[in-house]
Amino acid sequence: MYLESFQAWGEATRQRGVPLWRIVLEYEMHQKGRSEEEVWRRLAQVYAVMRDAVETGLREPRQTPSGLVRDTGKKLAHATFHLISPEFTMLLAYATAAKETNACMGRVVAAPTAGASGILPGIYTFLARHHGVPERTIYEAMLVGAGVALIMERKASIAGAVGGCQAETGTAAAMGAAGIVYAFGGTIEQVFEAVALTIMNMLGLICDPVAGLVELPCVKRNGAAVVIAAAAAQMALAGDTAVIPVDEMVIAMGAVGAAMDTRFKETALGGTAATPTAQAIAQRIWVNPNVIRREDPPE
Ligand code: SF4
């Protein structure tokens, strides 16, 4: 099975002289009984939902009744100070806006999960708008990302409740980093290095949603994850390596997730969720929900 490991995927790709996405496309056709045309059509539909999540997040108020989500995407989109470049700030804006659309019960693509649903829309929107990457290449990058997620799910996990936030936002960031490198013509090795570098830099990240709501730190982490994905892709495209093979990094992620205390696996008992302020917010939300008002900030 080609998608059991990055090594097997890479070998199959080289032996057959096909791009990485071709193996994933064939897997999808075989598993779902779909024609190639149907797979491309569905990719277009998925991409449209992702773009819409970004647009909606940037256009409409993105505030949740809990007060934990308050227009992060729009604040970034209208920022006047830019640490690196205005485009880079927009990468964060796109990712957080899409994730806020999810927090506000809008339509998103859970790729790989709802908690991490801003990362890929943010990256693909960034590639299309700021680098002119054509839609067809983005669909191919989506297939490459799907291959990454398949292997990570099999060898580690993609669920925060199983492996911590490294499994959710970490996997999405790895999918996105692979897509960036692919879109810019990186080699198979560079795509895999970007995945390894992303995992290396997200290893150990816990899942600690305040009050058990997939809002905080989730929106902020979607923003931070695209930065790590971009950094990993940049390093890989520059010819840098993770030194540790990508398959070993995936196994390491799975081992870290398995060793993680249950407080850090979406139980809202540790990390950010266990801070006094988060506990007070949880008390306010769950014990006396009537006091929650939109104008009632969590600070
Ligand atoms: S903190 Fe938990 S719920 Fe939030 S994005 Fe990370 S894994 Fe998902």
Domain boundaries, the chain: 2-291
How remote is the CA of residue 160 from the centroid of ligand 1, in Å? 6
Q: Is 160 in the pocket of ligand 1 (CB under 6 A)?
A: yes
The set of residues, in sequence order, having a beta carbon less than 8 Å from that of 48 and lying 6+ positions away, is none
Q: Are 256 and 249 in contact (CB under 8 A)?
A: no
Sign of CA pseudo-dihedral 11, 16, 18, 23: negative
| pLDDT band for position 296 (cuts 50, 70, 90) | very low
Share of the chain above pLDDT 90, in %: 95
User: Looking at the predicted structure, is the pLDDT value of residue 275 above 90?
Assistant: yes
When comparing pLDDT for 21 and 292, which is higher?
A: 21
| pLDDT band for position 294 (cuts 50, 70, 90) | very low
Share of the chain above pLDDT 70, in %: 96
Mean pLDDT throughout 57-75? 96
**Residue 288: per-residue pLDDT:** 66
Sign of CA pseudo-dihedral 36, 156, 191, 125: positive
Cβ atoms within 10 Å, residue 80: 6
The set of residues, in sequence order, having a beta carbon less than 8 Å from that of 11 and lying 6+ positions away, is none
* Ligand 1 pocket: which of 158, 168, 202, 265 to mutate (most atoms within 8 A of CB): 168
For ligand 1, atom 4: residue with the closest CA: 218
| pLDDT band for position 1 (cuts 50, 70, 90) | confident
Token pair listed for 106: 């809008």
pLDDT tens, position by position, 9-55 = 999 999 999 999 999 999 999 999 999 999 999 999 999 999 999 99
Token pair listed for 277: 């302020």
**Residue 297: per-residue pLDDT:** 46
Can you tell me which atom of ligand 1 is nearest the CA of 221? 5
**Residue 203: per-residue pLDDT:** 98
- Single pTM value for the model: 0.95
pLDDT tens, position by position, 245-264 = 999 999 999 999 999 999 99
Q: Are 169 and 159 in contact (CB under 8 A)?
A: no
Q: Is 116 in the pocket of ligand 1 (CB under 6 A)?
A: yes
**Residue 287: per-residue pLDDT:** 82
**Residue 196: per-residue pLDDT:** 99
pLDDT tens, position by position, 173-223 = 999 999 999 999 999 999 999 999 999 999 999 999 999 999 999 999 999
The set of residues, in sequence order, having a beta carbon less than 8 Å from that of 141 and lying 6+ positions away, is 21, 124, 127, 133, 178, 179, 180, 182, 183
**Residue 289: per-residue pLDDT:** 58
Q: Are 54 and 74 in contact (CB under 8 A)?
A: no
**Residue 130: per-residue pLDDT:** 98
Q: Is 207 in the pocket of ligand 1 (CB under 6 A)?
A: yes
